[in-house]
Protein backbone atom coordinates (compact mmCIF):
# COMPACT_ATOMS: atom_id res chain seq x y z
CA UNK A 1 0.00 0.00 0.00
CA UNK A 2 1.27 3.47 -0.78
CA UNK A 3 1.25 6.30 1.72
CA UNK A 4 -1.56 7.88 -0.32
CA UNK A 5 -3.95 4.96 0.18
CA UNK A 6 -2.96 3.50 3.56
CA UNK A 7 -4.75 5.46 6.34
CA UNK A 8 -2.15 4.41 8.93
CA UNK A 9 0.71 5.75 6.81
CA UNK A 10 -1.20 8.95 6.03
CA UNK A 11 -1.80 9.37 9.77
CA UNK A 12 1.91 9.00 10.59
CA UNK A 13 2.78 11.35 7.75
CA UNK A 14 0.37 14.03 8.97
CA UNK A 15 1.67 13.83 12.55
CA UNK A 16 5.24 14.17 11.26
CA UNK A 17 4.29 17.14 9.08
CA UNK A 18 2.43 18.78 12.00
CA UNK A 19 5.52 18.50 14.20
CA UNK A 20 7.83 19.81 11.48
CA UNK A 21 5.48 22.79 10.98
CA UNK A 22 6.29 23.94 14.53
CA UNK A 23 10.01 24.33 13.80
CA UNK A 24 11.16 27.92 13.25
CA UNK A 25 13.99 29.20 11.08
CA UNK A 26 17.36 29.39 12.82
CA UNK A 27 16.54 26.48 15.14
CA UNK A 28 18.72 23.64 16.37
CA UNK A 29 16.50 20.57 15.98
CA UNK A 30 16.84 17.17 17.64
CA UNK A 31 16.08 14.52 15.01
CA UNK A 32 14.53 11.40 16.50
CA UNK A 33 14.36 7.83 15.29
CA UNK A 34 11.52 5.69 13.94
CA UNK A 35 8.90 5.55 11.21
CA UNK A 36 6.77 8.52 12.32
CA UNK A 37 9.79 10.73 13.00
CA UNK A 38 11.10 9.84 9.53
CA UNK A 39 8.12 11.70 8.06
CA UNK A 40 8.96 14.72 10.24
CA UNK A 41 12.56 14.72 8.96
CA UNK A 42 11.27 14.49 5.39
CA UNK A 43 8.86 17.39 6.05
CA UNK A 44 11.70 19.51 7.47
CA UNK A 45 13.72 18.80 4.34
CA UNK A 46 10.75 19.80 2.15
CA UNK A 47 10.37 23.09 4.07
CA UNK A 48 14.09 23.82 3.64
CA UNK A 49 13.94 23.04 -0.06
CA UNK A 50 10.91 25.30 -0.62
CA UNK A 51 12.51 28.17 1.32
CA UNK A 52 9.74 28.13 3.94
CA UNK A 53 12.39 27.21 6.54
CA UNK A 54 15.95 28.54 6.70
CA UNK A 55 19.16 28.03 8.64
CA UNK A 56 18.25 25.01 10.77
CA UNK A 57 20.70 22.42 11.99
CA UNK A 58 19.88 18.89 13.10
CA UNK A 59 21.24 16.85 15.99
CA UNK A 60 20.72 13.16 15.13
CA UNK A 61 19.80 10.45 17.64
CA UNK A 62 20.86 7.45 15.53
CA UNK A 63 22.45 6.26 12.30
CA UNK A 64 18.92 6.20 10.84
CA UNK A 65 18.46 9.90 11.62
CA UNK A 66 21.86 10.72 10.10
CA UNK A 67 20.99 8.90 6.86
CA UNK A 68 17.56 10.55 6.58
CA UNK A 69 18.89 14.03 7.38
CA UNK A 70 21.52 13.74 4.65
CA UNK A 71 18.92 12.37 2.23
CA UNK A 72 16.63 15.37 2.81
CA UNK A 73 19.33 18.04 2.95
CA UNK A 74 19.32 18.89 6.65
CA UNK A 75 22.76 20.06 7.89
CA UNK A 76 23.94 18.14 10.96
CA UNK A 77 25.88 19.24 14.04
CA UNK A 78 27.15 17.41 17.11
CA UNK A 79 26.48 18.35 20.73
CA UNK A 80 30.07 19.62 20.92
CA UNK A 81 29.28 22.37 18.41
CA UNK A 82 26.14 23.88 19.97
CA UNK A 83 25.00 25.52 23.21
CA UNK A 84 21.52 23.99 23.24
CA UNK A 85 18.67 22.41 21.29
CA UNK A 86 15.54 24.46 20.56
CA UNK A 87 13.17 21.64 19.71
CA UNK A 88 13.39 17.85 19.42
CA UNK A 89 10.95 15.66 17.49
CA UNK A 90 10.81 11.98 18.35
CA UNK A 91 8.40 9.06 18.55
CA UNK A 92 7.47 6.77 21.44
CA UNK A 93 6.34 3.20 21.97
CA UNK A 94 4.01 4.09 24.86
CA UNK A 95 2.65 7.37 26.26
CA UNK A 96 0.81 7.57 29.60
CA UNK A 97 -1.64 10.35 30.69
CA UNK A 98 1.24 12.25 32.40
CA UNK A 99 3.19 12.29 29.08
CA UNK A 100 5.74 9.82 30.44
CA UNK A 101 7.08 7.51 27.76
CA UNK A 102 8.58 4.14 27.00
CA UNK A 103 10.99 4.38 24.08
CA UNK A 104 13.61 2.08 22.62
CA UNK A 105 11.75 -0.08 20.11
CA UNK A 106 14.41 1.01 17.64
CA UNK A 107 17.23 0.45 20.18
CA UNK A 108 18.18 4.14 19.99
CA UNK A 109 16.84 5.28 23.37
CA UNK A 110 20.20 6.24 24.90
CA UNK A 111 21.04 8.88 22.30
CA UNK A 112 17.35 9.84 22.11
CA UNK A 113 17.21 10.52 25.85
CA UNK A 114 20.31 12.71 25.69
CA UNK A 115 19.00 14.81 22.79
CA UNK A 116 15.35 14.93 23.85
CA UNK A 117 16.23 15.90 27.43
CA UNK A 118 18.44 18.78 26.24
CA UNK A 119 15.72 20.30 24.05
CA UNK A 120 13.85 23.39 25.24
CA UNK A 121 10.75 21.78 23.75
CA UNK A 122 10.37 18.04 23.13
CA UNK A 123 7.55 17.14 20.72
CA UNK A 124 6.45 13.49 20.73
CA UNK A 125 4.83 12.13 17.56
CA UNK A 126 2.71 8.97 17.89
CA UNK A 127 -0.39 7.23 16.62
CA UNK A 128 -3.35 6.67 18.94
CA UNK A 129 -2.36 3.04 19.51
CA UNK A 130 0.62 4.19 21.59
CA UNK A 131 -1.56 5.73 24.33
CA UNK A 132 -1.78 3.64 27.53
CA UNK A 133 -3.17 4.14 31.04
CA UNK A 134 0.00 2.73 32.60
CA UNK A 135 3.49 2.31 31.16
CA UNK A 136 4.57 -1.25 30.44
CA UNK A 137 1.08 -2.51 29.70
CA UNK A 138 1.62 -3.10 25.97
CA UNK A 139 5.36 -2.71 25.39
CA UNK A 140 8.42 -4.26 26.99
CA UNK A 141 10.88 -1.88 28.66
CA UNK A 142 14.21 -1.73 26.77
CA UNK A 143 17.41 -1.57 28.82
CA UNK A 144 20.76 -0.96 27.09
CA UNK A 145 23.51 -3.03 28.66
CA UNK A 146 27.29 -3.27 28.20
CA UNK A 147 27.89 -6.76 26.70
CA UNK A 148 30.10 -8.15 29.49
CA UNK A 149 27.41 -7.32 32.08
CA UNK A 150 24.34 -8.87 30.43
CA UNK A 151 24.07 -11.90 32.75
CA UNK A 152 24.47 -10.04 36.10
CA UNK A 153 22.19 -7.24 34.91
CA UNK A 154 19.48 -9.73 33.98
CA UNK A 155 19.80 -11.37 37.41
CA UNK A 156 19.43 -7.95 39.09
CA UNK A 157 16.35 -7.18 36.98
CA UNK A 158 14.74 -10.49 38.03
CA UNK A 159 15.24 -9.45 41.69
CA UNK A 160 13.33 -6.24 40.88
CA UNK A 161 10.38 -8.32 39.66
CA UNK A 162 11.10 -8.03 35.93
CA UNK A 163 11.22 -10.74 33.30
CA UNK A 164 14.25 -9.90 31.09
CA UNK A 165 14.95 -11.22 27.61
CA UNK A 166 17.91 -10.45 25.36
CA UNK A 167 16.66 -8.81 22.14
CA UNK A 168 17.64 -10.86 19.12
CA UNK A 169 18.22 -9.51 15.61
CA UNK A 170 15.90 -9.92 12.65
CA UNK A 171 17.72 -10.86 9.43
CA UNK A 172 20.85 -11.07 11.60
CA UNK A 173 22.23 -14.02 13.53
CA UNK A 174 22.60 -13.11 17.20
CA UNK A 175 21.48 -10.20 19.37
CA UNK A 176 20.62 -6.63 18.38
CA UNK A 177 23.64 -4.34 18.75
CA UNK A 178 23.02 -0.63 19.44
CA UNK A 179 24.77 2.30 17.76
CA UNK A 180 27.01 2.37 20.87
CA UNK A 181 27.97 -1.30 20.43
CA UNK A 182 25.89 -2.53 23.37
CA UNK A 183 23.05 -5.04 23.77
CA UNK A 184 19.36 -4.53 24.58
CA UNK A 185 17.46 -6.44 27.25
CA UNK A 186 13.67 -6.14 26.95
CA UNK A 187 11.90 -6.40 30.30
CA UNK A 188 8.32 -7.26 31.19
CA UNK A 189 7.10 -5.77 34.46
CA UNK A 190 3.63 -6.70 35.69
CA UNK A 191 3.13 -3.09 36.79
CA UNK A 192 5.21 0.09 36.60
CA UNK A 193 3.63 2.09 39.43
CA UNK A 194 6.46 4.60 39.79
CA UNK A 195 8.26 5.18 36.45
CA UNK A 196 10.62 7.82 37.90
CA UNK A 197 11.82 5.50 40.66
CA UNK A 198 12.21 2.52 38.33
CA UNK A 199 14.15 4.61 35.81
CA UNK A 200 16.72 5.53 38.48
CA UNK A 201 16.86 2.04 40.00
CA UNK A 202 17.57 0.39 36.64
CA UNK A 203 20.23 2.95 35.71
CA UNK A 204 21.99 2.30 39.03
CA UNK A 205 22.59 -1.36 38.16
CA UNK A 206 26.28 -1.65 37.20
CA UNK A 207 26.53 -2.38 33.48
CA UNK A 208 23.29 -0.60 32.51
CA UNK A 209 23.91 2.35 30.20
CA UNK A 210 20.32 3.62 29.92
CA UNK A 211 16.71 2.43 29.92
CA UNK A 212 13.66 3.40 27.88
CA UNK A 213 11.67 5.20 30.58
CA UNK A 214 11.39 8.91 29.71
CA UNK A 215 9.89 10.63 32.77
CA UNK A 216 9.00 14.35 32.74
CA UNK A 217 10.80 14.86 29.41
CA UNK A 218 7.95 15.30 26.89
CA UNK A 219 6.37 18.76 26.52
CA UNK A 220 3.90 18.20 23.68
CA UNK A 221 2.39 14.97 22.37
CA UNK A 222 0.94 15.03 18.84
CA UNK A 223 -1.35 12.06 18.24
CA UNK A 224 -2.47 10.79 14.86
CA UNK A 225 -5.83 9.04 14.75
CA UNK A 226 -8.35 7.83 12.21
CA UNK A 227 -11.81 9.37 12.64
CA UNK A 228 -14.66 8.54 10.27
CA UNK A 229 -12.08 6.99 7.95
CA UNK A 230 -9.96 10.15 7.87
CA UNK A 231 -6.64 10.86 9.57
CA UNK A 232 -6.58 13.67 12.15
CA UNK A 233 -3.91 15.09 14.47
CA UNK A 234 -4.68 16.16 18.03
CA UNK A 235 -2.48 17.54 20.80
CA UNK A 236 -2.14 16.14 24.31
Which active-site residues does the annotation give? Answer: 112
CA 178 to chain centre: 14
Q: What's phi and psi for 107, nearest 5 deg?
A: 60, 25
Which residues make beta-bridge pairs with 124?
90, 221
Amino acid sequence: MSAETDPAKIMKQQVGVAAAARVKSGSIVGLGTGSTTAYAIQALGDRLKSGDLKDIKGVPTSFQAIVLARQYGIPLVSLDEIDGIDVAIDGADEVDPQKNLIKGGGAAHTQEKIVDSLATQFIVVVDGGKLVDQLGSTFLLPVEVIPMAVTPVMRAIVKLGGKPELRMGIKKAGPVVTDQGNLVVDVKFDRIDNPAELEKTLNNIPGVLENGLFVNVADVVLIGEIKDGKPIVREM
